[in-house]
Amino acid sequence: MSKAKKIREQKIVLDESAYKPLIEQLWSLRKSMQEQESVLAPWLLGVDPCYRESARNFAHYLALRHADRRPLQESLDLIGVSSLGRAESNVLANLDKVLGILLRLADESWQPHSKDEPSSIQSSRGLLEEHTTALLGPPPSGRAVRIMVTLPSEAASNFGLARQMVDSGMDIARINCAHDGAAEWRAMAANVRRAAESVGRPVRILMDLGGPKLRTGSIAAAPAVLKLRPQRDDFGRVLASAQVGLRPAGTTMPVAGATAHLGVNAAWLTRLKAGDHLDFTDASGADRSLVVVHRDGNGVLAECARTAYLVTDTKIKRRRKGIGRRSTHLYDLPFKEGMLHLDRGSHLRLTRGGIGESSAEEVEKRQHLLPSISCTLPEIFEQVSIGERIWFDDGRIGGVIRRTERDWLDVEITHARDNGEKLAGDKGINLPDSQLNLPALTKKDCEDLAVVVKLADLVGLSFVQRASDVESLRSHLRDLGAPNLGIMLKIETRRSFENLPELLFSVMGNKAAGVMIARGDLAVECGYERLAEVQEEILWAAEAAHIPVIWATQVLETLAKTGLPSRAEITDAAMGERAECVMLNKGAHIKEAMRTLNDILQRMQAHHDKKRPLLRALHAWMSTPNVNSPSKSID
């Protein structure tokens, strides 16, 4: 029988002696909190005055969580007083209330110690709301949790899209500085400001710095080939010919009605007319022909009634004789994105530079069998060790470093589906076991900041790992004349999670601060099985520091991309009520996702406030069950 069960079954005699051990533990815990505050005094001195009480409360919280308090909680629960389980935002005040109750039950004197308490139950709520408004702006009507949305590139040229997003409930627009450029960012920001002004409510702009993102490099493209395939019925009969547009080489204007395009010699193209047959031998050696249907100002539309494969060596000849050249080579064929196929047990060579190549090409060219791909930050080569794990493409492909050389790493693939995985260029790389020493601000980030301070209300610091990263950003903002620009720390690596206390103390030196739980990278870095635990601990720590949290990555992602949500992601979105802001990524159905999220958050705020469940009347169960006519059980 467990110790906890034995305690429950014991008959507890509520006399003075029963409270004394608990009172002693609480006095000891209180002392440790005050000692922790003294130990962390250098950190506390560096915070902004608006965060002074919050930083003290966070110091007390760290002392509370320094040891296993579950036995103490069990004992407090049996007596019927608060077990300190929801004390994050007012740690010392909560402890003092429990201590005062126990002292009175033990018939001992108690003097209130409110002067020692940095925050009470009431004031802690006010501090969090104040800090949230400073960073994210005032809450919208009818909803306490803000909605942040990543802007697509189209928002730079389409004011209507920006207006629709604002109308659908966007409170913060996120501009990802890892994509597009300064001109597009300015246009996006201008459209958001104009849309917000037109509806008469504030919408803030977050500009997210790219940071030292470790990604795969380019891979040699597959041979350029265009497959023309007519539509057929179940019996193989042609229902519709393949439609291809022929236009002057190097041009990009579409030919009306074409589903694919090819570049041809401009002079040859001018001689074509409707009804012309264009003969060629395709890449498979089959004789095929195109028939010109019509021409417009951009080129001609031709159709093909049989499947054909066209490559750059294909030569097309006009069957009709006449003045001028009768044949042309093909140009501007579509290239397929380069791809590496990786199986469990295979090896991959990660290189400092160059174009990635598949093993088949490597056999002939360099006489070794390893497929290769470069990485965007080759300085990591000196910072990794044999035996450390490496993940690609948001954890879809996993491996272990087996050999390190100056110019390459040998990676054994250990995690992939049974039929293998495909790895493309520009995919993320995670090294959760490696002690990487990379500055959070890259040269590009520093250049981008000059634009950010003129457009944004807050800036996102990507891949932050230590307090010095935060100080570096704050220093740059001071130099740019924007010391009060809000800072959001993206917690997306194992190191940032492990160093969360120093990161929070450091960012509290700013007047407006927040953290984003970037759950995608965190899951890869810390392990999917730990993600739920990790995100809980970040929520608790941020609440203790009265710092707003942005709940991010894959929220209603299926709905945003396809228009149909999964059941699991609806529940996940409801969990966002525990944060101060929920972030949605772009997608074709983003407006539907925003409206759904708005509805979920409005419903859930009547049931939950941070960790505290709210006992709202459950109208679905308002009718009293008829005890004489119990309902039938459901199989």
Q: For residues 483 and 9, what is the distance between their CA atoms, to the nearest angstrom? A: 59
Please identify which residue in the block is written with the tokens 């088949």: 360
Please tell me the predicted confidence (pLDDT) of residue 362: 42
Q: pLDDT tens-digit profile of 321-360? A: 888 889 999 999 987 778 899 999 999 999 998 777 765 4
Q: How far apart are the first and last CA of the chain?
A: 35
Query: CB atoms < 10 A from the CB of 68, how many?
Result: 8
DSSP SS3 for 404: strand
| Structural Rg of the chain based on CA atoms | 32
Q: For residues 214 and 521, what is the distance between their CA atoms, to the nearest angstrom? A: 12
Q: Which fold has domain 339-430?
A: M1 Pyruvate Kinase; Domain 3 (2.40.33)
Please tell me the predicted confidence (pLDDT) of residue 330: 94
DSSP SS3 for 23: helix
Q: How confident is the model at residue 306 (pLDDT cuts 50, 70, 90)?
A: very high
| Contact predicate 332/263, CB 8 Å | yes
Please tell me the predicted confidence (pLDDT) of residue 26: 95
* 109-123, 240-254, 411-425, 460-474: range with lowest mean pLDDT: 109-123
Q: How confident is the model at residue 608 (pLDDT cuts 50, 70, 90)?
A: confident
Please tell me the predicted confidence (pLDDT) of residue 367: 45
According to CATH, what is the number of the domain 226-329?
2.40.33
pTM, entire model: 0.80
| Contact predicate 403/349, CB 8 Å | no
Q: pLDDT tens-digit profile of 439-468? A: 889 999 999 999 999 999 999 999 999 999
Please tell me the predicted confidence (pLDDT) of residue 121: 82
Q: For residues 225 and 184, what is the distance between their CA atoms, to the nearest angstrom? A: 33
Mean pLDDT of the region 489-501: 94
**136 pLDDT higher than 70:** yes
Q: For residues 4 and 20, what is the distance between their CA atoms, to the nearest angstrom? A: 20
**316 pLDDT higher than 60:** yes
Per-domain residue ranges of the chain: 12-119, 130-212+438-605, 226-329, 339-430
Percent of the chain with pLDDT over 70: 92
Q: pLDDT tens-digit profile of 571-582? A: 999 888 999 999
* 219-223, 301-305, 492-496: range with lowest mean pLDDT: 219-223
| Contact predicate 180/150, CB 8 Å | no
Q: How confident is the model at residue 122 (pLDDT cuts 50, 70, 90)?
A: confident
Q: pLDDT tens-digit profile of 397-424? A: 999 999 999 999 999 999 999 999 999 9
Residue 555 carries which DSSP code?
T
Q: Return the H-helix or E-strand segment holding 78.
A: helix 70-79
Please tell me the predicted confidence (pLDDT) of residue 619: 62
Give the rounded distance of the alpha carbon of 441 from its chain centre.
19
Please tell me the predicted confidence (pLDDT) of residue 112: 82
Q: pLDDT tens-digit profile of 64-85? A: 999 999 999 999 988 888 889 8
**587 pLDDT higher than 50:** yes
Please tell me the predicted confidence (pLDDT) of residue 439: 87
Query: CB atoms < 10 A from the CB of 140, how many?
Result: 19
Contacts (Cβ under 8 Å, ≥6 apart) of 370: 347, 348, 349, 359, 362, 410
| Contact predicate 375/409, CB 8 Å | no
> Between residues 107 and 262, which one has the greater pLDDT?
262
According to CATH, what is the number of the domain 130-212+438-605?
3.20.20.60
DSSP SS3 for 517: strand
Please tell me the predicted confidence (pLDDT) of residue 16: 61
Please tell me the predicted confidence (pLDDT) of residue 188: 97
**622 pLDDT higher than 90:** no
Please tell me the predicted confidence (pLDDT) of residue 432: 92
> Between residues 108 and 18, which one has the greater pLDDT?
108
Q: Return the H-helix or E-strand segment holding 198.
A: helix 182-199
The rounded mean pLDDT for the chain is 89
Backbone dihedral angles phi then psi of residue 365, each to the nearest 5 degrees: -85, -45
Extended strands (E) in 249-396: 260-264, 277-281, 287-296, 299-304, 308-310, 315-318, 327-329, 339-342, 347-351, 372-374, 389-392
**194 pLDDT higher than 80:** yes
**517 pLDDT higher than 80:** yes
Structure tokens, 402: 């087996």
Mean pLDDT of the region 225-247: 93
Mean pLDDT of the region 496-519: 96
Please tell me the predicted confidence (pLDDT) of residue 621: 59
- Read out DSSP for 169-186? T-SEEEEETTSS-HHHHH
Please tell me the predicted confidence (pLDDT) of residue 514: 97
**364 pLDDT higher than 70:** no
Please tell me the predicted confidence (pLDDT) of residue 2: 58
Please tell me the predicted confidence (pLDDT) of residue 366: 45
Q: How confident is the model at residue 266 (pLDDT cuts 50, 70, 90)?
A: very high
The two domains 226-329 and 339-430 share their CATH topology (first three levels equal): yes
Q: How confident is the model at residue 369 (pLDDT cuts 50, 70, 90)?
A: low
